Structure 1
Amino acid sequence: MSNRQCDVIIIGGGLHGLSAAMHLGRAGQRVTVLERSWVGRHASGATAAGVRTLNRDRGELDLSLEAIEMWHRLPELVGDDCGFHPNGQICVAETPAALQRLQAHVHALRTDGYTHEELIGSAELRQWLPELSPHCLGASLARRDGAADPHQALRAFRRAAETAGASIVEQCGVTFIEHHGDDWRVQAGGKEWRAPVLVNAAGAWGARVAAMVGDEIPLATKSSMMMVSERLRPFIKPVVSIMGRSLSFKQSDQGTLVIGGGLQGVPDLDRETSTARMGVLAKGARAATDLFPLVRDVRIVRVWSGLEAKTEDMLPVIGTSPNAPGVFHAFGFSGHGFELVPVVGAALTDLVVRGTTTRAIGNLSAQRLMAPAAKENRP
């Protein structure tokens, strides 16, 4: 085997791995990204690309709010807007009970000083969504949210990472990791790399990589599905969801409808496949037509699903390994990691270069998910 020495090895060439590579490269680190398939093969290439602070879990809300600021100046960060359109995200209430839940949610945010969400009534809701069904009563709104183009984002972050000096090696799955002196030895694709720092951004395979360095982190797999329709006249700009039902509904620049919202297919991590379930997709189609009756006869031209990691509490793992010096984790985004991409790479760079970060990752440590015995540092 040939030896390859660098400062940081990143395992995983999805958007979070590329963001880390870009930020670390700009901080003067020599970075190698090892990707088992090709850049964006799984979750990053199958995402609906929502840029959402709306209805975020409090455990990641502050991090999400920093990320949205980065999205609004993304051309300064990566030289490309990644197809980001800040046309807002809206969560619609169909019933009085749903509207009460939204009111309570927004009130709780305001009580704690958060102003990114607001409640809008029926009249303003129809200014935003003229084709909305008349049964809808109101909504919560995050005006600065929106959606982007995942493939444009992948190209932009890859280009920015390589411009910063990162080396990206595809078709190079990691098979073995061991600590040797001050370095980690990583065998992948029949070759060997060495670096004092590892970043585990392996997505659905994140727990398997973590186990190679002694961190037993529980992780499940999900297979979020999407549908795309034929092209229609433009009639909606925001991304729309429903309180209490699974739906994410938006219209692309090309006029197609992109419909998802956490509808799950069948994942197979070992085979690296995910299979769509048409009966489940039909629920998403029903939710879409309930909100927008004009799409009832629209043809669906394509469906897909992608492999994603899912943690027990649906929050990602971001931070330092409890057991392995020089190892940092960033995986388990559970279907809502796209918006966090710019800030996670920056937080990891803080940890690698300065040993600490002021970014809001305190709720996202691996320790919260690990069994008590596994949380203790090994000798």
Structure 2
Amino acid sequence: MNAFAREPARADVIIVGGGFMGAATAFFLRTHGLSVILLERDLIGQAASGTNFGNVRRQGRYLPQLPLANRSRDIWGRLPELIGEDAEFLPGGHIRVTTRAEDGARLEQYARDCKPWGLDLTMMTGDQARAMFPMVGPDIHTVSYSPHDGHANPRLAAPAFGRAARRAGAQVVEQTEVTSIMKDSVDFIIETKDGGRYHAPLLQISSGAWGRSMAASFGEDVPMAPQGPQMGVTEPLPYRIQPVIGSASSVTEEGVYLRQVKRGNIVFGGGRRSSADLVTKRARLDPMNTLRQMPHLARLVPAMARLRVIRTWSGVEGYVQDSLPIMGPSDRVSGLFYAFGFCGHGFQLGPGVGATMAELIATGQTDIPLEPFHVGRFQRNMEHRDAP
């Protein structure tokens, strides 16, 4: 052995990937008393966790995901007491709007279906919505209102959890690229590009769009592809749009959304996604998509038609084939856990994912149903199709 080689750092749990999921899990693991090493290739929250739209919504989710989303919403409301920061969370509500009767019928059905899952929505006609939200456009037909949802600043949320985890005693190691993950009879052994070595009996992979290759190294491939959602922000105008406003259209190009921050700027996104490259860590920005977004945004809020767009961006996000995340224990390797592939819907879930994964890792169980998100679902589906 090289006399100058570093002694391996040890912990109860290693987390690979310092996005929202990894940082929140590290923080909550410390509340369970477990020692944690969090490894991040770049900076905490720099990838998809810091470049997304910032939606803190529950409505419109896959119904079995609502217990996780409800738990997360509770934590969002307690951020200052938990981590000392609020990440600019504004619980101004969330409205989904339609311009077609058939899309409105889907909203009404969802409002009925989600109530047993702990989410109460208020349905409105377009006129009722305009009386409550005067900025909403004249073409809006049906509106679903979730009054306790809202939005936050994605550039602040994951770093805030990373700082809180470090203050709580977690070892947070940034700008450290993982080059090798192995497992012996006791420990996972992580090697990094800078020569670091880390050992722990428990490992969580939370590396976003890069999680597929890491899971595949343990024989658990996931049908997931990197893509780039398209976002932008306008010049400021006086603050008057409290809720997040999103289109519930079944037409992809019309599926846009917007929110206004207290500084007055309107952040927007939606429509078609672009390609993304895992090697360069870049997502392609499509200027034509921004042009396609604008008339649909103006249909939601007519004032958008008069505003200048001052910046556009994208980020690398992992989209799983069935649009559901990979979350829970490995099907093949003891002590291995996953929390990645949140398909552009993970920002609201971040605190709840962290709390739930920490609970699962620390105690071996959780009351939050995770079976729909299990990594083995694709293999089971394949075996079911192949059965005689």
Q: Does the aligned pair in 2 maintain the 1:7–1:195 contact within 8 Å?
A: yes
Is 1:196 aligned with 2:201? yes
Q: Does the aligned pair in 2 maintain the 1:216–1:374 contact within 8 Å?
A: no
Partner of 1:70: 75
1:156 to 150, 156, 160: 160
Mapping 1:137-286, distance limit 5 Å:
137-189=141-193, 190-244=195-249, 245-261=254-270, 263-286=272-295
Deviations 1:94-145 (A, max 9, x none): 12222222222223334x4644222112333113321222221230011100
Once the two structures are TM-superposed, the CA of residue 63 in structure 1 deviates from its matched residue by 1.1
Once the two structures are TM-superposed, the CA of residue 371 in structure 1 deviates from its matched residue by 6.1
1:345 to 349, 354, 360: 354
Q: Does the aligned pair in 1 maintain the 2:323–2:343 contact within 8 Å?
A: yes
Taking a change above 3 Å as real, the CA distance of residues 128 and 283 of structure 1, as seen in their structure-2 partners, is farther
Once the two structures are TM-superposed, the CA of residue 72 in structure 1 deviates from its matched residue by 1.7
Q: Which runs of 5+ in 1 are unaligned?
A: none
CA distance in 2, matches of 1:102, 1:326: 41
- Give the partner amino acid of 2:62: D
Taking a change above 3 Å as real, the CA distance of residues 98 and 372 of structure 1, as seen in their structure-2 partners, is closer
Partner of 1:124: 128
Q: Which runs of 5+ in 2 are unaligned?
A: none
Once the two structures are TM-superposed, the CA of residue 202 in structure 1 deviates from its matched residue by 0.5
Q: Does the aligned pair in 2 maintain the 1:59–1:315 contact within 8 Å?
A: no
Q: Does the aligned pair in 1 maintain the 2:201–2:335 contact within 8 Å?
A: yes
CA distance in 2, matches of 1:351, 1:113: 21
2:364 to 355, 358, 379: 355
CA distance in 1, matches of 2:149, 2:381: 38
2:104 to 99, 105, 108: 99
Q: Does the aligned pair in 2 maintain the 1:262–1:335 contact within 8 Å?
A: no
SS of the aligned residue for 1:338 comes to coil
Please identify, of 101-110 and 312-321, the stretch whose mean Cα deviation from structure 2 is larger.
Answer: 101-110
CA distance in 2, matches of 1:104, 1:321: 35
Partner of 2:306: 297
Is 1:60 aligned with 2:69? no
Deviations 1:231-273 (A, max 9, x none): 1122311000112131111111111110102541221111111
CA distance in 1, matches of 2:128, 2:27: 41
CA distance in 2, matches of 1:78, 1:315: 28
Deviations 1:317-342 (A, max 9, x none): 11001111111000010001011111
TM-score (norm 2): 0.92
SS of the aligned residue for 1:318 comes to strand
CA distance in 2, matches of 1:85, 1:248: 16
Partner of 2:34: 29
SS of the aligned residue for 2:306 comes to coil
Q: Does the aligned pair in 1 maintain the 2:13–2:34 contact within 8 Å?
A: yes
RMSD: 1.8
- Give the partner amino acid of 2:309: I
Once the two structures are TM-superposed, the CA of residue 360 in structure 1 deviates from its matched residue by 2.4
TM-score (norm 1): 0.94
Sequence identity percentage: 33
CA distance in 2, matches of 1:270, 1:116: 43
Deviations 1:33-90 (A, max 9, x none): 1111111121011011110001111131221122112212222222222111111100
Taking a change above 3 Å as real, the CA distance of residues 167 and 221 of structure 1, as seen in their structure-2 partners, is same
- Give the partner amino acid of 2:9: R
Q: Does the aligned pair in 2 maintain the 1:263–1:284 contact within 8 Å?
A: no
- Give the partner amino acid of 1:101: R
CA distance in 1, matches of 2:379, 2:208: 18
Q: Does the aligned pair in 2 maintain the 1:218–1:370 contact within 8 Å?
A: no
Q: Does the aligned pair in 1 maintain the 2:256–2:269 contact within 8 Å?
A: yes
2:20 to 15, 32, 35: 15
Q: Does the aligned pair in 2 maintain the 1:222–1:334 contact within 8 Å?
A: no
SS of the aligned residue for 2:276 comes to strand
- Give the partner amino acid of 1:133: G
Please identify, of 66-75 and 80-89, the stretch whose mean Cα deviation from structure 2 is larger.
Answer: 66-75
CA distance in 1, matches of 2:353, 2:256: 26
- Give the partner amino acid of 2:151: A
- Give the partner amino acid of 1:24: L
